[in-house]
Structure 1
Amino acid sequence: MNFRFIISLALFFFLNFLSNYSHTTEAAPTYLEYYCPNTTLYTPNSTYRSNLNTLLSSLSSAATSNADGFANATAGKAAPDRAYGLFLCRGDVGTATCGECVATGSKDILRRCPDGRVSVIWYDECMLKYSNQSIYSVVEIVPGYTVPDTGSVAGPDQFVQLLGQTMNDVVVRASDSESGKKFAVAEANFTSSQKLYTLAQCTPDLTKSDCNTCLRAAVADLSQGEQGGSSFTPSCTVRFEMYLFYNASAVPPPPELPSRPAPLGRAKGKSNKSTMIIVAVAIPVGVAIMVLFVACCSSRSKTTKTFEVVQAEDGATDITTVESLQYHLAAIQAATNNFSHRNKLGHGGFGEVFRGRLSNGQEIAVKRLSKSSGQGVREFKNEVVLAAKLQHRNLVQLLGFCLEGEEKILVYEFVPNKSLDYFLFDPNKRRQLDWSRRYTIISGIARGMLYLHEGSRLRIIHRDLKPSNVLLDSDMNPKISDFGMARIFGVDQIQANTNRIVGTFPCI
């Protein structure tokens, strides 16, 4: 009798163990990606590591008690050993799931990035990041990652249009959110038996404009022709699926959106053109839509897919990841003879520009931002991510960047004939600009601006167009440069208010 009791008791504890183990496994967060650049490191027993441990413990505690699913914290009193961090949980997950995700991330990030002062880790349920510089209220579009779902969708043209409309809705509502969460979901009927579900979310510390900028950039990187996918950065995330992937009972009922749109007709006038532009800017489109778009607007260049290798018409290939653009500081110093004065091409409001030659013989233009310039990490990353996404013959091509220590450097293609102001404001050089050449330059600038406003997958306003920011190649073709002040606008946005003056003040 005692033997049976012991066996029964042992079986009870064994089954209870299996139940708890199964529950723990099912509740474990779904890992997506991590990022830790090797530009700033710390030693295992350093003050920064001690502060980091305190920071992560504080964030883990906050996640178990914060119903908003977001918190930031700091640890340490002085730079460079002060640690800044924050977490963001998906808007529909509960406090318990959020707490478990952040606790897992706090341990996992130290294992994956054992000596990095700057690190980010993403799960399906949460995101956790820290740095030795302040990251609160700072929009970070780099790095950006895309996770596609396998499986194509029937009726891709109509699906892309519906996806663009639905994504635009959640981006606008997430950016405009006045609540503690910059979070929105939406659903729309694609067929009688299929629904499209979408989600957009920013860290709540961002402004409306910064949130919109981040989400638009993330939407532009979503995979084409798939049944689902997600795109995420350190500041925001977007996702779409053909199944309900979020907890609908934990979020307010989303507004009813139009069902699957009818096939595109051949409307007259500007309506058809506007519709095609909205589709092209809202979401990367399928090949069929792109061909139709180029046929209607033959003066525009084809838009290439960013962060995937794509063969262009001129034989060049697009980038694969932002990291693939990164140069080591030593390589830049060697190319410019350690930023020799003899190699200096000029200087602007944010720093100096040098001519250089890489080890493979390629000539480059190196924009070295001054340490006292007004362009901080935000503007620098803004210019990198924008220039990387833009591919047009009348825009200067970004080749790479360097971010080591206090150095912030952009590497561009070398444009031999300097800038337009070099010719316009020199009495002798001005004579080279006959009316035929001036017309070519004006037309090229207009084509570049039209691409930025309507032809690219992001609607971009340069905000600092001037002769010194228009470079001339060997054939005197113009190339627009300097996107540090650029701003990404909404898909259907035709005007906006700004809260600060940017650009260059005119001399009177």
Structure 2
Amino acid sequence: MINHQYMKNMNTLLLIFSIFTLPSFLTSTEAVWLFTFCPNTTTFTPNSTFQSNLNRLLSNLSSNANRSSTGFYNVTVQTTNNAVYGLFLCRGDVVGTDACGICVANTTTVARKSCPVEKQVVIWYDDCMLRYSNESFFSTVTDWPSFYMRNTLNATDPVRFNQVVTASVNQAASEAVGDADKFGTNRANVNGLTSVYSLGQCTQDLSATDCNRCLRMTIDQLPTYCYGRVGGRLVFPSCNIRYEVYPFYAQNATSAPEPAPGPPPPLPPPPKGKSKIPTRTIVAIVVPISVSVLLFVVGYCCITRRAKYKYNEAAADEPSGENDITTVESLQFDFATIQAATSNFSEDHKLGEGGFGQVYKGILSNGQEVAVKRLSRNSGCCSEEFKNEMVLVAKLQHRNLTLRNKDNWIGQDVTRLFQELLEESCTSMKIPDLE
């Protein structure tokens, strides 16, 4: 049992050690579909003028996705009584990459399939949003339709975590309001191992005032849906807020990196002829390795010490001295006592006969019943094997046998017990059912 507990503790220690050596997060650049809104309250007739204008608008949006330097583009296609207004918005960190163009192309395809005759459509992907309508919505804050998403995991300290999230998303919103592209991010530390990454964005047709109003409305509702969760987002057509405990956006595209500490004192020039590896690089490599090794060694010592302590406790509890049943000498009586107890090995006291010899029932002078095994001269077995059998019988935990207490052996129904033990041989014996 000690070895099993020892191995269990070692496995736990190795798991903790592995966590220190694994990367802290994994990121994915693949854009995924989030939500589609296209109510059938306002529809158009297939092959109508409105559909022709809509096709032109979707083609225009898709072709401009790779050309936009800001990740935003809006356009109107209009004929008499058949105007269509549309725009796309790519997430700020994917602007200038293929991800923006691919995402917009996907949304235009989804719009034609999922909303074939609806005039008002909003489609959200992870990397972009597409929106069009038969009514103008440019430069107007729109908070419907909306949706939220949240991580299924809860923070270990939700109060502290929510305080950090609130501060972080507010900072990201402030950066977005002041940014020409209406996009802002922020990173905030929860503790030494966990950081919160936040993002805020508005459509670029909004004024700074309207963008700020939209983002503040979103932030006010965020705790209602995502309080204490390690990730969440709330999305409106005109703006959105999101936070996670991993960098879900490209950090080199952020407009507000976390403030860095002050510059260190200048380093002395390296000796001539030697490698110019910066001291900070060496420290950054050596310190984490040293800490990890130290944690491993300390944990190993603690577990080893604990296992040794448990072993000593177990050894202290084992019987010794007068209670020892590991040697046959502790089970033997002098011959005169045995002879008197069995009436000189009377046939009336005989219980049976096995491979080593005969078994007799004896009654000691104090009235205690005992079973006596007498080694036969013709048994063909050595005395050592006979002794081993006696030790084994003494150790049996059986329903008809009570082992020795502090002072003596107490036998219960020994006749039945030894009848079950008579089928032994020189090298083995039949063990009774130990229920």
How far the C-alpha of 1:214 sits from its partner, in A, is 1.3
SS of equivalent residue, structure 1 residue 150: coil
How far the C-alpha of 1:28 sits from its partner, in A, is 5.4
- Taking the aligned partners of 1:88 and 1:233, their CA distance within structure 2 comes to 12
Which residue number corresponds to residue 111 of structure 2? 109
SS of equivalent residue, structure 1 residue 221: helix
SS of equivalent residue, structure 2 residue 165: helix
- Taking the aligned partners of 1:40 and 1:70, their CA distance within structure 2 comes to 26
Which residue number corresponds to residue 293 of structure 2? none
Equivalent residues of 2:199, 2:242 under 8 A apart: yes
Equivalent residues of 1:187, 1:256 under 8 A apart: no
Could you list the per-position Cα deviations for residues 421-469 of structure 1 after superposition, in whole angstroms to 9, with x for gaps in the alignment? xxxxxxxxxxxxxxxxxxxxxxxxxxxxxxxxxxxxxxxxxxxxxxxxx
Matches within 5 A, 1:218-297: 218-222=218-222, 223-256=226-259
- Taking the aligned partners of 1:211 and 1:68, their CA distance within structure 2 comes to 16
Equivalent residues of 1:28, 1:100 under 8 A apart: no
Which residue number corresponds to residue 203 of structure 1? 203
Which residue number corresponds to residue 295 of structure 2? none
Matches within 5 A, 1:123-142: 123-142=125-144
How far the C-alpha of 1:257 sits from its partner, in A, is 9.9
How far the C-alpha of 1:76 sits from its partner, in A, is 2.3
SS of equivalent residue, structure 1 residue 153: coil
RMSD over aligned Cα atoms: 1.8
Could you list the per-position Cα deviations for residues 158-198 of structure 1 after superposition, in whole angstroms to 9, with x for gaps in the alignment? 11111111111111221222x2x101000011110111100
Structure 2 vs 1, CA of residues 27 and 251 (structure 1 numbering), >3 Å: closer, same or farther?
Answer: closer
- Taking the aligned partners of 1:153 and 1:228, their CA distance within structure 2 comes to 9
Matches within 5 A, 1:20-419: 29-79=31-81, 81-95=82-96, 96-177=98-179, 179=180, 181-222=181-222, 223-256=226-259
How far the C-alpha of 1:208 sits from its partner, in A, is 1.5
- Taking the aligned partners of 2:252 and 2:173, their CA distance within structure 1 comes to 21
Which residue number corresponds to residue 307 of structure 1? none
Which residue number corresponds to residue 439 of structure 1? none
Could you list the per-position Cα deviations for residues 212-266 of structure 1 after superposition, in whole angstroms to 9, with x for gaps in the alignment? 12112222332111000111111111100000100012234524399xxxxxxxx
Structure 2 vs 1, CA of residues 172 and 251 (structure 1 numbering), >3 Å: closer, same or farther?
Answer: closer
Equivalent residues of 1:92, 1:251 under 8 A apart: yes
- Taking the aligned partners of 2:256 and 2:220, their CA distance within structure 1 comes to 26
Equivalent residues of 1:146, 1:221 under 8 A apart: no
Gapped regions of structure 1 (runs ≥ 5): 1-25, 259-508
Equivalent residues of 1:173, 1:184 under 8 A apart: yes
Structure 2 vs 1, CA of residues 125 and 159 (structure 1 numbering), >3 Å: closer, same or farther?
Answer: same
Identify the structure with the greater helix proportion: 2
Letter in 2 for 1:99: G
How far the C-alpha of 1:118 sits from its partner, in A, is 0.5
Number of residue-to-residue matches in the alignment:
230
Equivalent residues of 1:182, 1:204 under 8 A apart: yes
SS of equivalent residue, structure 2 residue 132: strand
Structure 2 vs 1, CA of residues 126 and 257 (structure 1 numbering), >3 Å: closer, same or farther?
Answer: farther
> Structure 2 length as normaliser, TM-score?
0.51
Structure 2 vs 1, CA of residues 253 and 207 (structure 1 numbering), >3 Å: closer, same or farther?
Answer: closer
- Taking the aligned partners of 2:247 and 2:254, their CA distance within structure 1 comes to 13
Q: Percent of aligned pairs with the same residue?
A: 42
- Taking the aligned partners of 2:129 and 2:164, their CA distance within structure 1 comes to 28
Letter in 1 for 2:92: G
Equivalent residues of 1:166, 1:257 under 8 A apart: no
Equivalent residues of 2:164, 2:189 under 8 A apart: no
Letter in 2 for 1:195: S
- Taking the aligned partners of 2:138 and 2:61, their CA distance within structure 1 comes to 14
> Structure 1 length as normaliser, TM-score?
0.44
- Taking the aligned partners of 1:130 and 1:64, their CA distance within structure 2 comes to 19
Structure 2 vs 1, CA of residues 53 and 251 (structure 1 numbering), >3 Å: closer, same or farther?
Answer: same
Structure 2 vs 1, CA of residues 71 and 173 (structure 1 numbering), >3 Å: closer, same or farther?
Answer: same
- Taking the aligned partners of 2:109 and 2:249, their CA distance within structure 1 comes to 25
SS of equivalent residue, structure 2 residue 92: coil
- Taking the aligned partners of 1:155 and 1:214, their CA distance within structure 2 comes to 29
SS of equivalent residue, structure 1 residue 151: coil
Letter in 2 for 1:124: D
SS of equivalent residue, structure 1 residue 209: helix
Matches within 5 A, 1:420-431: none
Could you list the per-position Cα deviations for residues 357-396 of structure 1 after superposition, in whole angstroms to 9, with x for gaps in the alignment? xxxxxxxxxxxxxxxxxxxxxxxxxxxxxxxxxxxxxxxx
Structure 2 vs 1, CA of residues 203 and 257 (structure 1 numbering), >3 Å: closer, same or farther?
Answer: farther
Letter in 2 for 1:219: I
Q: Pick the structure with greater CA Rg.
A: 2
